[in-house]
Amino acid sequence: MGILIEVLFTFINFLTVNPTSIEFEKIEREYYLFKPKYNVEPSPLVVNLHGYGSNALQQRIYTQFNKFALPKNIYVVYPEGVNRSWNAGIDPNNTINDVGFINALLDTIIANNNIDISRIYVCGFSNGGMMTNKLALELNDRFAAFGNVAGNLILEEGQSIDFDRKIPMIHIHGTDDLWVPYQRKASRNRMDVDESLEFWKNHNKLDQYSKEVITTKSFFKKTSLNKIVFFNDNDSEKVVHYQVVGGGHQWFGSAYGSNILMKSYVGRNNTDFHASEELINFFLNYKLENNE
């Protein structure tokens, strides 16, 4: 998929900016940080993770995240995965410490910018969404909320869940996704969408459920949109799922997702909403407590 995005985005190479880098575990790790206009008050930060085969600049362009974040005084950082991937637990032979890298990256950004450490969030696409789930398991003391687009939860063999903190999670996924299928017999430790949602619902002890039909299909529109919310009476950390019926392996709402070549390769887009906008709206409901 990264190759396709690269072809589609060559015409906007003039937008390329130079990366910043830090050395982590003897590897030079690059990232792109975009800053809002200066605000005397500390501002939120979103970490946005690209998919497998893609890269940080493609993720910036494809998701259009800056368009929604910067006007709200939100910093956005797009890190680069080693070999265009994240060690989210799929490959047991992958020894790259991406959790440690993200932790070190946060320390670096916080030390040099006016960041509200109670409002740091992470999201990702596909393999980046899987990495987001891994960070929810292993680095949840740094992030107030988590967002996953077209990725699923992976539990590594022998991994124990030994934290009590409730995890706010938003999961956006197309039911016709052929790259990270919505439903299937889960292989090894890799969950499908229903299992991923069930895991976080149970962890957060959410016993209630609502479903809102936002849009329906028509002759000219081949996708529909449902919003599913898991919650409880205590208004605890919710799990929200945007289900795009008929949608493919897409960052939904992106202007680039409706390109004919893109559609033929990854499936249908849905422009009834924008994933970036919904992620930000969800994130800003949450702050980390007791993080002084």
Contact 64, 70 (CB under 8 A): no
Give the rounded percent of residues in the chain with a pLDDT score beyond 90.
78
Residues of the chain with pLDDT under 50: 3, 5, 7, 9-14, 292
Residue 122: per-residue pLDDT: 99
Print the domain residue range for 166. 2-283
- Report if residue 158 sits inside a domain: yes
Give this prediction's pTM.
Answer: 0.92
Residues 249 and 268 sit within 8 Å (Cβ to Cβ) = no
User: 288 lies in a domain?
Assistant: no
292 in a structural domain: no
In a domain, 17, yes or no: yes
Note whether residue 114 is domain-resident.
yes
Alpha-carbon distance values, 230 to 52, 96, 224, 242 (Å):
29, 34, 20, 12
**The pLDDT value given to residue 12:** 46
Which CATH number covers residue 90? 3.40.50.1820
Mean pLDDT of the chain: 91
Closest to 203 (Cα-Cα) out of 165, 258, 241, 172? 165
The DSSP-derived string for 1-63 is: -HHHHHHHTGGGGGG--PPEEEEETTEEEEEEEE-PSP-SS-EEEEEEE--TT--HHHHHHHH
Instruction: Give domain status of residue 269, yes or no.
Output: yes
pLDDT of residue 158: 63
Domains: count for the chain: 1
Burial class (CB in 10 A: 0-12, 13-18, 19+), 117: middle
Assigned domain for 290 exists: no
- Residue 110 belongs to some domain of the structure: yes
DSSP characters for 193-237? HHHHHHHHHHHTT--EEEEEEEE---SS---EEEEEEEE-TT--S
pLDDT of the residue at 16:
60
